[in-house]
Amino acid sequence: SQTIHQWPATLVQPVGSPLSLECTVEGTSNPNLYWYRQAAGRGLQLLFYSVGIGQISSEVPQNLSASRPQDRQFILSSKKLLLSDSGFYLCAWSVKSGANVLTFGAGSRLTVL
C-alpha cells in the first residue's frame, strides 16, 4: 500500500534561518506531488506541485522554493525564513490518472520566531 511521510512534524526556527521540510512517498511511482499551506480562515493554499523529477511549478510568489531530486521525494525550502512563513505545511500525492484525488501527509507545523 502507498504511504506518505513528512518530517519534521514540528519545527521552531528563528527569522533568517534556513528551512528544509521533506516529504517522501512509498508504494507508488511517478506520482504528482504537492505542497500546500493550511492557515486558519484561509483554507489550503497550493504552493508548489510537481509532475516529475526536477519539474516544479510555483503557484504563488513567496519566500519558499521546492525541489524534487528523486521520483518520490519532495522538499520545501527557504534560504531565510520570515515571520510570515509560519504555518502548517501539507505534502500530498496523487496518481497521474487521478490527479484530483489527493492523499495527504500528516503535516509539518513551522513556527518562525
Partner 1 sequence: AQRVTQPEKLLSVFKGAPVELKCNYSYSGSPELFWYVQYSRQRLQLLLRHISRESIKGFTADLNKGETSFHLKKPFAQEEDSAMYYCALSGLSGGYNKLIFGAGTRLAVHP
Q: Interface residues with partner 1 (CB under 8 A)? A: 34, 36, 41-46, 49, 51, 57, 59, 90, 99-107
Give the shortest CB-95-to-partner 1 separation in angstroms: 12
Give the residue with the Cβ less far from partner 1, 45 or 67. Answer: 45
Give the shortest CB-6-to-partner 1 separation in angstroms: 10
Give the shortest CB-106-to-partner 1 separation in angstroms: 6
The grid coordinates of residue 66 equal 521546492
Give the residue with the Cβ less far from partner 1, 60 or 113. Answer: 60
Determine contact, residues 98/88, Cβ cutoff 8 Å.
Answer: no
Give the residue with the Cβ less far from partner 1, 33 or 81. Answer: 33
Residues 6+ apart with CB under 8 A from 70: 53
Give the residue with the Cβ less far from partner 1, 32 or 86. Answer: 32
* DSSP string for 48-111: EEEEETTEEEESS--S-EEEEEETTEEEEEESS--GGG-EEEEEEEE-STTTT--EE---EEEE
Give the shortest CB-15-to-partner 1 separation in angstroms: 27
